[in-house]
Structure 1
Amino acid sequence: MKQIKIFDTTLRDGQQCPGAGMSHSKNIEYAQLASLIKVDVLEAGFPSASEQDHAIVSQIARMYAHQNRSPKVAALSQLREAQVEQTIEALSPLVKSQRAIVHLYVPVAPELMAASLGAYADDKNQILRDVQGMIELAVGAGMEVEFSPEAYSQMGDHFAFTTDLISAAIDAGASTINCPDTIGRACYLQGDDYFVNHMNQHAHIMREQFPDRDITWSVHCHNDFGLALDNSMRAVFEGPATQIEGCFNGIGERAGNVALEQCIMYLNAFGHSQPGEVYRSQCRSKHIRRISDFVHQNMLPRQPHWPIGGDNAAKHSSGGHTNAILRNAHIYQPFNPSEVGQQISFVFGPLSGSNHAQAIIQKHGYVCTDDERQTIMQYIKDHHKERRKGLTDDEFMAAYFAFRAPIKVAKIGFERIKNKQHFAMQAKVFDQAEDIHFIAQDDDTAITALHQFLQQRFGECQIQSYRSESREPGRHAKAHATITVVADDEYFQGKAQDQDIETAALKALIDAYNQFLVQRHYRQPIQTERHAAVGLRD
């Protein structure tokens, strides 16, 4: 069994991504979720960057200090004594439980060293002394230390210098060596120069130099070429890495970091594929959707087709898929979506079939027999023929109610005779053509007269509220009417529009009554035995 640690840098590298920053309270809320999902290390921020960052890291450290089981907390620092001391101060509540990690870094890629360090880049001996000194300072304060040779994958001809840096870091007390692909440009096609090969070389050298030290090799990959997952997994399966660093939903600088939810599920799916070895993480994958949704809502939007946690990852529309899934719930899923807190769901669209239509209707508890499901399906598609992207369940059921509507009015006419309004409606009632006549007596409104007629014909139903409005300017604007009725202790809201305000109100009342009648005549018990396993939802 090879335990792979998950180092979550969503609060640090993730918030360095433009537009992904969160308030103080949201940082704390995220830390609670990270503890729930059981990441091994939470990199909470960069304490010396600002008072706010220091306060966030400090509060997370205090919060975790009161938990028996929580992630270790890492905080980033440059090789500057004042920064290291600020970082130590922020993490100090976790010293007693040995869960505080100072994360120190210095660039090793030649071009990055020149751009970042200026003249300091030429004094490699001083850099080595500073690495040694800053790590000893942190270790002496009771901290663990992770050391990162920044842009490790681009070190070029600095292999020997990088070796000296890693050796100095371990000698000073660093317990984790992180090997970043800082600009996301590593690829296995680089052959001998591929950074995983260099990791293997450095791991071998350090085992010989420090045979009694247990060093964690970590990998931190960016996704600029879409290779972050492949590179991270190669560092684990083909290299020495036993820790993966990344962010949930793959956020992070530029194109982001490796997505931690993808790493976790990759290990779950393929961690046993190597003969004689099993790779796994301790993360509770059932909370992935929850933490993914948090990042989506509070940091950066997640694409619907995003792997593992995306809205479409367990959502289906095509008729062929739906028919198969109704027989075998997970036939078109690479893993059971419940493993990550998802549910299989269907979206009714242009390619959906009659089985799908029947399943939605029966899930909502209404009648759809095998003989009529094709007709109903086609009606709903025609009703929403412009909705190529699919329907919500509410939209679908509204079309079903329109199909089932017992009262279908083709025309409404009225005239005033001796202070009375005479109304005539051409309609089909339960598919039978009828001419309906009613009169508004004395001070009765047309709505009152129609309501009395409908009650006498179809049953008791009280008007709860009525509203009519014009939503566009000008005298040619249509009237929009909304009427709510109550029957059998349930509320039904009818809506309609017409150039004539009175006609709009009459149509809205009929719409509300139709919903009541569909409920009364076409409702059936929900068939949970057939559909519960599929996990249908809006």
Structure 2
Amino acid sequence: MQDKLIIFDTTLRDGEQSPGASMNREEKIRIAKALERLRVDVIEAGFPAASGGDFDAVKAVSQAVGESAVCGLARALDTDIDRAGEALAVARRSRIHTFIATSPIHMEHKLRMTPDQVVERAVAAVQRARRYTDDVEFSPEDAGRSEEDFLCRIIEAVIAAGATTINIPDTVGYSLPPAFGAMIGRLRERIPNADKAVFSVHCHNDLGLAVANSLAAVMSGARQVECTINGLGERAGNAALEEVVMAVKTRQDAFPCDTGINTQEIVPCSKLVSSITGFPVQPNKAIVGANAFAHESGIHQDGVLKSRETYEIMRAEDVGWSANRMVLGKHSGRNAFRTRMRELGIEFEAEEALNEAFARFKDLADKKHEIFEEDLQALISEQIYESEAERVKLIALHVCSDTGETPRAQVVLKVDGEEKTSESEGSGVVDATLKAIESLLATGASLLLYSVNSITTGTDAQGEVTVRLERGGRIVNGLGADTDIVIASAKAYLNAVDKLLSSAGRKHPQVADV
């Protein structure tokens, strides 16, 4: 019988650390349910001690998820571990993931602790975590730059203290596959009680080697990979779940293990994460990119028509790409709408919420002929945002763009219940619109990113706009969708502004003081 490769998804925790990718409670629940449909083994839902919002989100995910284990991150501090234990108390299956840095540079300059003190702290953290759950994971942060003898010492100690998973992170994405795989093999051989724990890896993608390093570790005996949907994560991101899973599935001749992932949910989950975070998937991205199974070369097309296997090593249908899907339109009824939303993992707790969503769907159907699942995801994201963000709302927008004339925009906003109007000129109607909004709100924020993507095909497609703002060191992401790209731009800017006005900052677990 083949070994089980455990898939540990950290999209909701490490993935959220991407600048601008912060998710609210409801968005985390939607992604968690999608991950559960994907049959992810462990969902790292957040860092409960970081803020009250993070605590509530981890607790909400714990309540919403039934099959996957829910994990909370905690530094090797009693307060962090207790907070994680409280947030996970309602989970059917829970895990506490505690960590402390083990490299000489981190111990000396960041922790200001001796190696003996670090071992003592790590052991105490694992023992405290065991008060809340039997499933405890320990990570020696910056393991790639740690001394191997010290790694062996601290790992042996935490396994003896009750750690059931040992995660070796390539924190700065510096490792190379042969060396990283060999290190995992040596640790498993050198540590006397290594057989009492599952070895895991968490690789960053700074050199584009996160997936390669993860797979090299699997070949050397690691049986858990920590990864994210679309490779989302801070800096260059993490190992992409879809690439790890499909590499193992496709190359069963090489890997002595397999996952329990429902691969047909990969593409839907990818689209959901992209929609919520505002991080579009590049067209040539492996597995989930729009061109992943496209063939333009005549030679390739001829080969695929004769036999798919000539140029395709996977079936598009196996990862969730399919042309056979129900397309909704303005004549579709409430039951078809509810059924399609349920297939996308979206359930309406109240009839009022369903009625509002159905009304929005009908309005959209009057603007475009066919409604695809990407349109529905955007529709729900917008509904959730508007139900929470009442401080700033777009009431009306008028723009003028004549050849040879300076573009102008007039906006009417409702700010804390009061209507306000402003006009502005710009280099284009979008520029004029955003300047008019800013003149009313005076946020003082810097625009770091303005990006437009077509949600589906056709000239009547909705445009999805991503806006990234920075103020006082805080970075937020705003999303807006509409068949009119100027309106979508205004919605995205207001979405981001509302987050600046109403959201508290969040600690970053790797830079917070220990």
The bucket for the TM-score relative to the shorter chain is 0.5 to 0.7
| Correspondences of 1:241-390 after superposition (within 5 Å) | 241-273=222-254, 278-299=256-277, 300-329=279-308, 331-343=310-322
Q: Deviations over 1:458-498 (max 9, x none)?
A: xxxxxxxxxxxxx97489xxxxxxxxxxxxxxxxxxxxxxx
- In the alignment, which residue of structure 2 is the partner of 1:14? 15
The 2-side partners of 1:307 and 1:88 are apart by 37
Which deviations, in whole Å up to 9, do the C-alpha atoms of 1:134-169 show, x marking residues without a partner? 2111112234110001111111xx222222211121
Give the Cα–Cα distance (whole angstroms) in 2 for the partners of residues 81 and 301 of structure 1.
39
CA change 1:322–1:202 in 2 (3 A) is closer
1:47 aligned partner: 48
Matched, 1:25 2:7: no
1:78-102 per-position Cα deviation (integer Å, ceiling 9, x unaligned): 11111110000001113xx4x2111
Q: Give the structure 2 partner of residue 423 of structure 1.
A: none
Name 1:232's counterpart in structure 2: 214
Matches within 5 A, 1:105-504: 105-117=99-111, 119-120=112-113, 123-155=114-146, 158-188=147-177, 194-206=179-191, 208=192, 210=193, 214-237=196-219, 239-273=220-254, 278-299=256-277, 300-329=279-308, 331-343=310-322, 473=402
- Change over 3 Å in CA distance of 1:332–1:343 after alignment to 2: farther
SS of structure 2 residue aligned to 1:258: coil
- Residues 1:101 and 1:327: Cα distance change in structure 2 (over 3 Å): same
Q: CA RMSD in A?
A: 2.4
C-alpha distance in 1, partners of 2:155/2:100?
11
Q: Which runs of 5+ in 1 are unaligned?
A: 346-393, 395-470, 476-538
Amino acid across the alignment from 1:272:
D
**Does the 8 Å CA contact 1:251/1:259 hold for their aligned counterparts?**
yes
Letter in 2 for 1:199: I
Question: How many Å separate the matches in 2 of 1:160 and 1:328?
Answer: 53
- Secondary structure (helix, strand or coil) at the match of 1:93 reads coil
1:20 counterpart SS class: coil
Cα deviation, residue 219, structure 1: 0.8
Q: Which has the higher contact order (CA 8 A, sep 6+)?
A: 2
Find the structure with the greater CA-based Rg.
1
Following TM superposition, by how much is the alpha carbon of 1:115 offset from its aligned partner in structure 2, in angstroms?
3.7
Q: Could you tell me how far apart the structure 2 residues matched to 1:326 and 1:37 are? A: 31
2:78 aligned partner, one-letter code? E
User: What residue number does 2:94 align with?
Assistant: 100
- How many angstroms apart in 2 are the aligned matches of 1:92 and 1:472? 57
Query: Does the aligned pair in 1 maintain the 2:25–2:60 contact within 8 Å?
Result: no
Q: TM-score, normalised by structure 1?
A: 0.58
- Distance in structure 1 (CA, Å) of the matches to 2:187 and 2:403: 77
Secondary structure at 2:226's aligned position in 1? strand
Question: 8 Å contact 2:198–2:223 — kept in the other structure?
Answer: yes
Alpha-carbon contact 2:304-2:312 (below 8 Å) kept: no
Q: Deviations over 1:381-428 (max 9, x none)?
A: xxxxxxxxxxxxx9xxxxxxxxxxxxxxxxxxxxxxxxxxxxxxxxxx
SS of 2:95's equivalent in the other structure is strand
What secondary structure does 1:10 align onto? Answer: coil
**TM-fit CA distance, 1:111:** 1.9
* Cα displacement (A) at 1:200: 1.9
| Offset, 1:127 | 1.8
* Aligned residues with identical type, % of pairs: 33
Q: 1:225-251 deviations in whole A, cap 9, x for unaligned?
A: 1111111111011x1200001111011
How many residues end up aligned between the 2 structures? Answer: 330
